[in-house]
Structure 1
Amino acid sequence: MPLQFADRLNNVETSAIRELFKLLGKPGIISFAGGFPDSAMFDVEGLREASQRALTEEPGGALQYGATEGYEPLRTQLAHFMQSKGVKDIDPTGLIVTTGSQQALDLLGKTMISPGDKVIVEGPTFLATIQCFRLYGADLVSAPIDANGVQTDKLEELIKQHKPKLVYLIPTFGNPSGATLSRERRIKVLELAAKYQTLVVEDDPYGDLYFGEAPPPSILALSSEVPGSREWIAHCGSMSKVLSPGLRVGWIIGQPELLAKATMCKQFSDAHTSTFAQATAAQYLKSGRMPATLAKVRQAYGERAQAMGEALKRELGDAIEFTQPKGGLFFWARLTGAGGKVKDAGELAKRAIEKGVAFVPGAPFFAKEPDLSTLRLSFATAGIELIDEGVRRLARGIAS
């Protein structure tokens, strides 16, 4: 007899990105596919010192079981970190530590979503969020976005129509769109949250990765300007893109009742995030090395983004449309089909692999009505020479 799996698995399928990675073993392939930070950017010496201090100063706390809510010194450092980014009235008890922001999303799914609940997401949005929320039975509704993020007039119409359990946004350098929600629209989102008493989940793994002018303050930071909105905001943060994904350190900030329920669910999942990782992250933040680390990665990623934008214009011309990203890790582009060239990104992905370059077609990032001409390109892990060569290979794929 075959195994009888849970019905909830009928709502999800294997990640298209993970499946694509199986094709990347070809020697010499240049990958623009992954959403990874560049391992060369990791502050190895700083992390080594932080881990040594963790073992020297409080070995029991670093190596023993810990509180589900998180290692207290790390919660304190994260509260300071968020205060430095304009979040007022935050203290260590106002957040819980999660095993990466991926677990934060899973905990929100567990605590908030019942089968059949409406959940509004951006179109496009983070693929793992689509899969996670569908696993818990969410009926996903797509809100349209443009270069300034989610279109708040359309969002309000969808909230009124569907009365969603929650709204999920990546307002700063979104994955995959790269879009950044304007300050005006952030205020409007807060007004909608308070007016309709709808939970807004702000996922912010990329907000510190800006290349020039800093983006607007987070929705959470701006909540002090809209009375009654703070209790309707859940903010997810992560150290993965700015320090190290291997630490698996993320966090949720939200109202006490939500954090209590999330903590309960986390107890069933992993008891607590690695105390050694948490102690290392706490010591690193305490050391004061983060500003220099951020400056380094901003410069490197900014140069690579500039190089990719120039190469795409030079090599692909009017066959592709995109907005130059101002931060984050991604280009979001659309094939135009100009000159009879390929317009289906899925077809181009197959050709590109044959030419020795990989990217992710955009269709899986849409919960509904995918745009088959879209694609996501990551510039994070390739140097400028590889970016230039990879885009040349992509151009040959379009022309073939």
Structure 2
Amino acid sequence: MSLPLARRMDGVTSSPVRDLLALTTRPGVISFAGGIPAPELFDVDGLRAAFDRALTDGSVLQYSPTEGNARLRELLAGRLAERGLATTVDDLLVTTGSQQGLQLLSTALLDPGAVVLVEEPVYLSALQCFQLAEARIVPVPGDGEGIDPAALDEIAARERPSLLYLVPTFSNPSGRTVSPARRRALAAVIARHGCWLVEDDPYHELRYRGEREEPLSVRPELAGRSIYLGSFSKVIAPGMRLGWLRAPRELLRRIAILKQASDLHTSTIDQAAAAEYLAAADLDAHVRRLCATYRVRRDAMLAELPGITPPGTTWTDPDGGMFVWVTLPDGKDTDLLLPEALRHDVAFVPGSAFQVGEPDRSALRLSFAAHAPETIAEGLRRLAKALSADAA
């Protein structure tokens, strides 16, 4: 184009998951690509009743405060307190999905050239926000327990980061969870280097095995430097686009100003309906149903993987969340495998999409939440055929 465009977009890459949607929605395709909740588990009746109750007050069709529905924030504060995060209404801002929270934080906290540390592999849409802020993104290695505190200490000392971004519980994309002991070690490192922690925790309630960990943001040494993001997308409905952000109040005030410039406020009616739903429905019982179903689907995927992958393949065994991270033997390139998989009507996301440094092209992310066990088995059989064709 001959007309001028902003240079800040030059370094922003498209989301492979969003790009795959057009291909994976065609009839017959089994997609393990998106972190999509099972639509048959949406509480449609409960939500319909919540919207009906909300609409008895015509003001829910009007403009509303930027910070969000006060009743919804009060109910959220109570749920966060149950996680060990002492929270009041004034500590929270409702966002249009937690993705908006990431975008607002990137604008509020990052000048061009600022350093952001991320665990690798990392949630790809977070990368888009940091790229748009023209930050310098530096990966930190990890292992089966998540990000490595010693590596974080060494890299933070060298890079002097503005913030560290983590999904410590059922990470997207790896499915890994940081252990309690490692959380304590990470908190000490973060406090020592004086950077912000952005803790993204959308999968917190989707635990299928073991004891629930407290958020990393609970650690007292992180008080005043921790920002906690959450979402209703995984436990109620992603189409409502409701998330929230818990942050120190001075930062929250600045973020509210940014949100005013972005969209004035999140949908008034959706917030009011969510408040009605939280007040009347048994969300904990609904989450238990989700966990019971997703546990079976995770187990089905893990049971099928040994029979459809080549010798030497490894994968994560997540305690919760929606994802399994698979690493094929050396020499396999999942970017090249994807077109062959699509020819067999099955989709995944290549691991390179989630990596900042030199990508491990042998990795791929599979999401198990949206499909029944028999569909998972069929999809993995198709993937096996693509792997065989790729090897020929």
Secondary structure of residue in 1 paired with 2:234: coil
8 Å CA contact 2:310, 2:329 repeated in 1:
no
After TM superposition, the score normalised by the length of structure 2 is 0.96
After TM superposition, the score normalised by the length of structure 1 is 0.95
What percent identity do the matched residue pairs reach? Answer: 41
Cα drift, residue 212 of structure 1 = 2.2
Aligned partner of 2:315: which letter? F
Residue of structure 1 in register with 2:217 after alignment: 220
Cα drift, residue 315 of structure 1 = 2.3
| CA–CA separation in structure 2 for the residues paired with 1:319 and 1:192 | 35
8 Å CA contact 2:114, 2:162 repeated in 1:
yes
Q: Does 1:275 align with 2:275?
A: no
After superposition, residues 13-32 of structure 1 pair within 5 angstroms as 13-32=13-32
Residue of structure 1 in register with 2:348 after alignment: 359
Q: Could you report, residue by residue, the CA deviation over 1:51-104 in whole angstroms, capped at 9, with x for unpaired residues? A: 112122x331x221111011100110110110122212x111011111110000
Q: Could you report, residue by residue, the CA deviation over 1:287-320 in whole angstroms, capped at 9, with x for unpaired residues? A: 1420111001101111000000000112225252
2:156 to 141, 152, 159: 159
Residue of structure 2 in register with 1:391 after alignment: 380
1:95 to 92, 95, 98: 92
Aligned partner of 2:58: which letter? P
8 Å CA contact 1:156, 1:192 repeated in 2:
yes
1:348 to 337, 343, 360: 337
| CA–CA separation in structure 1 for the residues paired with 2:372 and 2:259 | 39
Residue of structure 1 in register with 2:285 after alignment: 292
**Mind listing any 5+ residue stretches in structure 1 that lack a counterpart?**
none
| CA–CA separation in structure 1 for the residues paired with 2:12 and 2:316 | 31
Residue of structure 2 in register with 1:59 after alignment: 58
1:249 to 225, 242, 254: 242
Q: Does 1:192 align with 2:189?
A: yes
Aligned Cα root-mean-square deviation (Å)? 1.3
Secondary structure of residue in 1 paired with 2:326: strand
Aligned partner of 2:36: which letter? F
Q: Does 1:148 align with 2:145?
A: yes
Cα drift, residue 280 of structure 1 = 0.7
Cα drift, residue 350 of structure 1 = 1.5
2:135 to 119, 138, 158: 138
Q: Give the number of equivalent residue pairs.
A: 389
8 Å CA contact 1:46, 1:289 repeated in 2:
no
Residue of structure 1 in register with 2:48 after alignment: 48
Residue of structure 2 in register with 1:8 after alignment: 8
Aligned partner of 1:79: which letter? A
8 Å CA contact 1:176, 1:330 repeated in 2:
yes
2:74 to 70, 73, 76: 76
Cα drift, residue 25 of structure 1 = 4.6
| CA–CA separation in structure 2 for the residues paired with 1:192 and 1:65 | 43
Aligned partner of 1:253: which letter? R
**Mind listing any 5+ residue stretches in structure 2 that lack a counterpart?**
none
Residue of structure 1 in register with 2:103 after alignment: 106
Aligned partner of 1:353: which letter? L
8 Å CA contact 1:209, 1:328 repeated in 2:
yes
| CA–CA separation in structure 1 for the residues paired with 2:183 and 2:61 | 41
| CA–CA separation in structure 1 for the residues paired with 2:238 and 2:282 | 17
| CA–CA separation in structure 1 for the residues paired with 2:250 and 2:110 | 15
8 Å CA contact 2:42, 2:236 repeated in 1:
yes
Secondary structure of residue in 2 paired with 1:201: strand
8 Å CA contact 1:234, 1:253 repeated in 2:
yes
